[in-house]
Every structure is written in C-alpha cells, then in structure tokens.
C-alpha cells in the first residue's frame, strides 16, 4: 500500500490550470499508515565548543537514540549561530508520537537534560526543539529519488515521483490540510517583535504560535564530480547563502523567527558534503512571498532549475526540503542558552512553577 | 457531501465478528471538511459565587463569544467542585483552529483574562481548559437524532445514524485515528500521582500529557413526561451519580485526572433539565476498563439500554457524549484557583518567565 491523506478541496489549489511540470520531482510516501510525524532537534551551544565536548554530547545523544522508543532515524550536524556560538545538533525522526513521548520522558537523554546540573555548566547551553505534526500538516520534495535524508530515512518511507511541483504555491498544495485550511497565522495582524530576554541560568519553554511554518531545506553534493562540484561551490551555494543571509537579516519583514545553516558531520566531527537550513517562519504565506518574489530566492530557484535541466538524470547535486505547519505547541526548551537562541526573542516563555 | 476521515486499519477493530447493534445510535458528521475541533471551557470559581458575579462573568463571556472569530456554538453551566467551590462555566466550540487562536488573543475575554487584576480578586479564581484536536482524534454518540447539544450545535453538523455501537470498544472504533494508533498514554507505566500545588495568586499553565482522554457525557430530560421523568430521577440519575462518585473517589485507580458534573443553566442562572460530565482520563484505555468491567458503569449502561428498548422512538430522555484524545498540549490555564482545580494536582505546571 501507499499511504496518503487527501481532503475534498474547499480552498482553491494554487496549481495553474493545465500545469505540467517540465521535469519530475519526488516526494515521500510511506508503505504503512502514518498518523503523526516528529522531528526533534537537540543541541549543545557554546563559544568554540571544544571537539571533545561536542563529541561527548553527540555520543550521549546517539546512544540515547538507540534506547527503547528511540527515533526511526537520526543525523548529527553543526553550525555557528548569529551570536557566534557553535551549536552541535542531533535530530531524531519518529513516526509514532506515543513512542516519542515515552522516549522524551524515559530515556537517559531526557533525564540528563532535565537535570538542574545543565543550568550550571559555564558558557554552555542546551536546547530542544521538537516539531510534532499530524501527517496532514507536512510536505516534502526531493530533486532526485536516490538519496535519503531527514524523514526519508524512517522505516517504510519511499521516495516517489510526483507532478505537484514547478509552480509557486506547489509546496502549499502538497500539504494535505491546505485543501481545507488556509494555514494562516493568528498573529498575522500583529506579528511578534524581537525582544531581549533573560535566558542564561534558566530553563525556558517557548510557546510557538499556531501554524508556525518549519522548513528544513538541504543540499547534498558528495557524489558531485569536478564540473558540478565547481558549479555548486561557485554558483548555487553563494546564491543560497545570500538568500539565507537576507532572511536572517530581515526577520521582521520576512516573518523569519529563526534560521540556522547546519552542516552534517561524520563520526569524527568533520563536515560532510551536505548542509541544510532549519528555519521557522510565522506563516507559510511569508515563506511563499519570499520564494515567489524576492530576487535572492529567484536566483537560487532559477539556477537550481537550470542545472537540473542541463544535467537531467546526471545531476549530481541533490536538493530537497521537508516542511511542517505546526499546531500551537510548547515543545521548544532552552536551558542556559544565550538570549538570541532559536525562537527565544519572539515567543511567549515559561518556566516551571515554583 | 458528508465529511469523514478513515484510515486503512493496522490496529484491529474491537467490533465483534458479525456484530449488529440491537438499536441504532447516532453520531455527528459535517457537511463540509473539518480539519480540527476545539472546545474551550472558561470558568469563574469561588465559594458560593454570588448570583450577580456569576451573571456578570457569563455575560462577559457570551458577549465575547459574539465577537470576531468567536465560537460556532456555546453553552453556560454551573457546578460545585470537590473543594466545595461553585464554578460558573461557559464553553465555546470552534471548527476552525486559526479562528480560535485569533479569538483567544484578540477578544475582550482574552484581554480581560490576561489582566493581572484577575490574580487579585479575593476568593475568586478563573480557569480556561481548551481542548483542540485534529478531526481524527474525536468521536460522538447520541441516543436520538432530534436534540442538538455540544459540538452538534456547530454550523454544518448533522446527527446521522450509525451502527458502530452496542459493544465495548465501540467508542474507540469510532475514533478515526484508532485504526492506526493504539492511543496509549506514554505515562501508563508511571502514572502521575496527585500532589499539593501552590496555585493561589498565580497564573499557571498545565501541560496535559499526550493522549489524555477528554469525555463530555450528557443527559437531557426537558421533554420527559411523568413516567420517564420519574424513571430518570429515581433510577438513571442515581446510578449515574454513583458512577461519577466512584471515578472521582478513585482517581488514581481509574486514571481520572478531573471530573465535574455540570448543570446547564438558563439566562437567569436557573438550572435546566440537562447535565453533563466533563472528565479527563490519563488514557482512553482506563475509561474503557471502567466502562467494560465496573459495576457502577454496568448499572448505568444496562438501565439506559433497558429504557431505550422499552420506549424505543418514544424515549424522552436523551443521552450522548463527545470524546477527544488530545495530543500533548499546554492549553489549560488556572488563575488564582484553589489547588485541587482541574488537572492542577496531576500535571506539570508553568508560569510566565520573569
């Protein structure tokens, strides 16, 4: 079987009349029913972050991921954030919310993260950003069917051809719930403004707003030969980084609440030929507006399309994304982090009651 | 159209082979796609609760419900809780989560409830318990098609005949997600124990656990003639109250986190011939265990069935329920309430960060 959810449309599709994409793209389907999807990011944060500390943290996380009710897939990554601090990241993917909920209480990682000792490590912060959505609040796209990353590594997932691509609005059309829900932000009329927060020495839970849009967008060039590697490094990557710099530098205008450019790393902590951007937007509509109309995105988009057309099945750079529109939640936690970490500047913050 | 969600089963149905119910029952369907359902309970709590204060509160709520993005239906009720305090309750039903999220920020009620002045009214508490679920996490049943209450009052809802009834496990089988998810509590192995909390003078957010089961179960006898009224008052109601007393008195054993027997009231604050029980259980499985095996429920169940069989279409007492299995949420708020209010003794509690 191939599982999917579809609703009788009450919100018009964005697909133009008669549209057929010039080239196929791919998306995920599972061979079993999947009610809910979870991606949970765990990170250690600090200036410089010594290699042995990073290695110890990632070892702890990946060992914990192997315990009962652990994730179906995981990856490890690293990035330097806007405050100049290094963040070592482990992301786990679950397709069973109850298993995730059990793991997030009972695992060694959960107990270790909940320990008050985490509040008192000088210069070190920890954060957990857990994205949990019903199946009908997600969509995926891959430029090629052969490389598995992110959700595509979970058991039962298959990368299959689709034709809901190649026009602005296709990502929205791929989200099943978009057929019956405009997925608007309730904060659209009064978007939150960044504010300073007191976050050091504290364990803060952030309440993320209804319909916050989560994008993990990636590129993988390990298999690229000299020609395509050169093009990626000299053309696509700089365009991509200009786009990300624009979003990160214009958070208020673009509805960007946080954005990190992460590099996948190997067991020794060395960077792989793979990066992804984890970004949060107040509303899908704002991400769409940038994608449709801003030159920094059009430059990325047109170059990626041109290379896909030029090399066709011989294209050696894989691009992909997975997108989630989250219901209101209080599933992001920041422990002794710096005040500009993640969504801290934008969201309502809570502490455990005394 | 009639909207509904169904999944290819991976979890066996509870329905016995070849089961056909002896009598029809009814359930809700909407004539439009409904992605998510919200019932939000707002209450004022105090010893005695003078009629003019109750009336003022309910007037404020129902006026607020009439503002932009307000609920599709609402009711007002009253009950005396286990601590002996009176609670005046207004419940709103939405079928649009974004509208609910907008209303819960922008309405006069939201601003009034968020005001710190609510923390300083002597002897008066306020609470808000908002239950928001995707459509596939709910089910309903009505003994008759003619009376509309609760979710059944929302626009586009119709009470339709069904045959998924008349056996233990039918409620579970009616929840679409149960076809692919056992809906277990992640806390089953270590259920929370009641603990004293410091709640007066505070605004506390309670994090309700994943798959908490919410039941609103009601009875309406306004149209009952002397014979059926007598039977309700002398037989069914006492059995019902014994069952509720048992659950409320054995919270730990039964997984009951809170239980209130509420009476609907009219515009003058007088009780109507209608009650409902709002109860929270750690897991659907625990509610099922009581229903299947405990004498207090069997007494209710057998009497209700006997009366339905005796009077058939002339049955003048309507019984019904609506049930939700909630994802993990932080959508219950308690402002200056007594420590035994709602789920306060059982859930993780948070305050706004300073």
Euclidean distance between CA atoms B2 and A285, whole angstroms: 30
Closest chain A residue by Cα to residue B33: A180
Tell me how close the Cα of B346 comes to any Cα of chain A, in angstroms.
13
Chain A residues touching B204 at Cβ < 8 A: 353
First to last CA, chain B: 50
Q: Which site among A210, A337, A352 would you substitute to test the B interface, given the most B Cβ atoms closer than 10 Å to its Cβ? A: A210
For A30-54, write each residue's pLDDT tens digit.
999 999 999 999 999 999 999 999 9
Q: What is the mean pLDDT of residues A15-30?
A: 94
Does A36 contact B327 at a Cβ distance shorter than 8 Å?
Answer: yes
**If you count residue pairs, one on A and one on B, with CB atoms under 8 Å apart, how many are there?**
129
- Angle (nearest 5°) at CA A138 between A135 and A142: 120
Q: Please tell me the predicted confidence (pLDDT) of residue B332.
A: 98
Tell me how close the Cα of A179 comes to any Cα of chain B, in angstroms.
9
For B263-282, write each residue's pLDDT tens digit.
999 989 999 999 999 999 99
- Statement: residue A1 has pLDDT above 90: no
Closest chain B residue by Cα to residue A95: B181
Q: Using CB atoms, pick whichever of A1, A96, A348 lies closest to residue B8.
A: A1
For B166-201, write each residue's pLDDT tens digit.
999 999 999 999 999 999 999 999 999 999 999 999
Q: Using CB atoms, pick whichever of A3, A181, A187 lies closest to residue B35.
A: A181
Tell me how close the Cα of B49 comes to any Cα of chain A, in angstroms.
28
Q: What share of chain A is helix, strand, coil (3-state, %, to 5)?
A: 30, 30, 35
- Statement: residue A267 has pLDDT above 90: no
Chain B residues touching A8 at Cβ < 8 A: 1, 3, 33
Euclidean distance between CA atoms A174 and A151, whole angstroms: 16
Closest chain A residue by Cα to residue B177: A35
Structure tokens of B18? 């070849």
Q: Please tell me the predicted confidence (pLDDT) of residue A22.
A: 86
Euclidean distance between CA atoms B109 and B175, whole angstroms: 32
Does B210 contact A97 at a Cβ distance shorter than 8 Å?
Answer: yes
Chain B residues touching A195 at Cβ < 8 A: none
Q: What is the mean pLDDT of residues A325-335?
A: 98
Euclidean distance between CA atoms B77 and B60, whole angstroms: 14
ipTM of the complex: 0.96
Q: Which site among A33, A183, A354 would you substitute to test the B interface, given the most B Cβ atoms closer than 10 Å to its Cβ? A: A33
Q: Please tell me the predicted confidence (pLDDT) of residue B267.
A: 87
With beta carbons less than 8 A apart as the criterion, state whether A20 and A316 touch: no
Q: Which site among B98, B104, B185, B324 would you substitute to test the A interface, given the most A Cβ atoms closer than 10 Å to its Cβ? A: B98
Chain A residues touching B207 at Cβ < 8 A: 330
Residues 6 or more apart in contact with residue B198 via CB below 8 angstroms? A353, A354, B339
Q: Please tell me the predicted confidence (pLDDT) of residue A94.
A: 98
Structure tokens of A211? 């319909």
A162 beta partners: A25
- Statement: residue A350 has pLDDT above 90: yes
Euclidean distance between CA atoms A346 and B55, whole angstroms: 38
Tell me how close the Cα of B6 comes to any Cα of chain A, in angstroms.
9
Q: Please tell me the predicted confidence (pLDDT) of residue B24.
A: 86
- In Å, what is the CA distance from B68 to each residue of A109, B109, B198, B330? 45, 12, 36, 24
Tell me how close the Cα of B144 comes to any Cα of chain A, in angstroms.
29
- Statement: residue A212 has pLDDT above 90: yes
Euclidean distance between CA atoms B28 and B263, whole angstroms: 23
For B188-239, write each residue's pLDDT tens digit.
999 999 999 999 999 999 999 999 999 999 999 999 999 999 999 999 999 9
Q: Please tell me the predicted confidence (pLDDT) of residue B23.
A: 84
With beta carbons less than 8 A apart as the criterion, state whether B151 and B93 touch: yes
Tell me how close the Cα of B265 comes to any Cα of chain A, in angstroms.
32
Does A8 contact B10 at a Cβ distance shorter than 8 Å?
Answer: no
Cα within 13 Å of Cα(B150), Cβ side: 29
Q: Using CB atoms, pick whichever of A1, A132, A180 lies closest to residue B35.
A: A180
Euclidean distance between CA atoms B232 and B143, whole angstroms: 15
Q: Please tell me the predicted confidence (pLDDT) of residue A225.
A: 97
Chain A residues touching B96 at Cβ < 8 A: 181
Q: Please tell me the predicted confidence (pLDDT) of residue B22.
A: 86
């Amino acid at each position: 079987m191939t599982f999917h959810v579809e609703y009788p449309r009450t919100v018009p599709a964005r697909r133009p009349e008669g549209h057929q994409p010039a080239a196929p793209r791919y998306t995920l389907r599972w061979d079993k029913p999947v009610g809910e999807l979870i991606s949970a990011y765990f990170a250690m944060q600090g200036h410089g972050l010594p290699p042995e500390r990073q290695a110890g943290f990632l070892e702890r996380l990946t060992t914990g991921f192997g315990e009962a009710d652990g994730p179906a897939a995981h990856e490890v990554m690293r990035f330097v954030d806007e405050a100049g601090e290094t963040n070592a990241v482990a992301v786990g993917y679950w397709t069973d919310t109850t298993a995730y909920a059990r793991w997030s209480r009972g695992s060694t990682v959960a107990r270790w993260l909940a320990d008050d000792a985490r509040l008192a490590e000088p210069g070190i912060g920890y954060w957990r950003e857990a994205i949990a959505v019903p199946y009908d609040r997600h969509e995926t796209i891959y430029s090629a069917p052969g490389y598995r990353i992110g959700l595509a590594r979970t058991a039962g997932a298959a990368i299959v051809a689709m034709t809901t691509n190649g026009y602005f609005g296709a990502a929205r059309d791929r989200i099943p719930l978009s057929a019956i829900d405009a997925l608007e932000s309730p904060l659209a009329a009064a978007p939150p403004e960044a504010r300073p927060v007191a976050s050091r020495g504290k364990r803060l839970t952030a309440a993320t707003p209804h319909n916050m849009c989560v994008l993990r967008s990636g590129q993988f060039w390990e298999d690229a030969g000299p020609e395509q590697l050169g093009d990626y490094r000299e053309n696509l990557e700089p365009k991509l980084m200009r786009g990300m710099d624009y979003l990160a530098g214009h958070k208020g205008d673009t509805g960007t609440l946080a954005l990190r450019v992460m590099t996948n790393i190997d067991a020794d902590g060395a960077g792989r030929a793979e990066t992804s951007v984890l970004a949060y937007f107040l509303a899908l509509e704002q991400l769409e507006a940038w994608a449709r109309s801003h030159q920094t995105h059009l430059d990325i988009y047109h170059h990626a399309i041109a290379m896909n057309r030029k090399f066709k099945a011989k294209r050696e750079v894989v691009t992909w994304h997975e997108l989630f529109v989250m219901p209101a939640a209080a599933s992001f936690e920041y422990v002794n982090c710096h005040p500009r970490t993640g969504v801290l500047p934008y969201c309502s913050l809570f502490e455990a009651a005394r």
